Amino acid sequence: KQEVTQIPAALSVPEGENLVLNCSFTDSAIYNLQWFRQDPGKGLTSLLLIQSSQREQTSGRLNASLDKSSGRSTLYIAASQPGDSATYLCAVKTGNQFYFGTGTSLTVIP
Amino acid sequence: DAGVTQSPTHLIKTRGQQVTLRCSPKSGHDTVSWYQQALGQGPQFIFQYYEEEERQRGNFPDRFSGHQFPNYSSELNVNALLLGDSALYLCASSLAGGAVNTEAFFGQGTRLTVV
């Protein structure tokens, strides 16, 4: 069974800092990987989708990489802002379902 | 584009009751998946509907059932509610049966509290 782990569980940084969130998964036979953002008590907002054949995707200040063979992905956030404070979830798609990590709770301090 | 919409947003039910949650997928999407997210956990896959049929099911008991309508909207039904069913229920929509290269979009969720 696919297992997804996210490290760290929580992170607190001053505004303006660059940061990296990590995601690892046990089964490399994935179709794609998505990074999501979740605000407290809310749904999921898709940030980036990386297909299994891709190495990275970029959107604005966000960059996600994928190393399928080693079962790892990273989400890089540049020049963090207080509005980036949220929980970030990594999800890998195998078959028809996503397997999620438990997320990294990010706090950006003004 | 309204995106994925779920109703109701919040719900309180008593143990043993039954509940129905609703989801309208993003415009043009034909596939709906349901997830349960307990507090502090990542979402867990319940099942997926495509062409009005349950296509795949996660590790959830038969108390959890669903339906997809011809307009692609979907319902999640939970019977004989337990306290442990309290969670945020998320609906995700995608295209083409959730084909491998398609992006999934999630709704804002329904917060179910069982007392």
pLDDT in tens, B42-62: 999 999 999 999 999 999 999
Is the pLDDT confidence value at A44 over 90? yes
Residues 42-101 of A with CB under 8 A from B: 42-46, 49, 51-52, 89, 91, 93, 95-101
Chain B residues whose CB is inside 8 A of the A89 CB are 42-43
Residue B2 is predicted with a pLDDT of: 73
Share of chain B above pLDDT 70, in %: 96
B99 → chain A, closest CA residue: A96
A-B interface: how many C-beta pairs under 8 angstroms? 65
Above 80 in pLDDT, residue B97?
no
B60-80 pLDDT per residue, tens: 999 999 999 999 999 999 999
Judge whether residue B100 has pLDDT over 80: no
- In terms of phi and psi (left: phi > 0; alpha: psi -120 to 50; beta: otherwise), the region of B65 is beta
Residue where the block lists tokens 């079962």: A71
Which of B35, B48, B111 minimises the CB distance to A41?
B111
Separation between Cα atoms, residue B92 and residue B3, nearest integer Å: 10
Taking CA–CA distances from A45, the nearest residue in chain B reads B106
Residue B34, pLDDT score: 98
Is residue A2 within 8 angstroms of chain B, CB to CB? Answer: no
**The pLDDT of residue A73:** 98
* B109 interfacial to chain A (CB closer than 8 Å): yes
Helix-strand-coil split of chain B, %, nearest 5: 5, 50, 50
For residue B99, name the pLDDT band (cuts at 50, 70, 90): low
Taking the C-alpha atoms of B104, B105, B108 and B114 in order, what is their torsion angle to the nearest 10 degrees?
Answer: -20
- Residue B84's SS3 state is helix
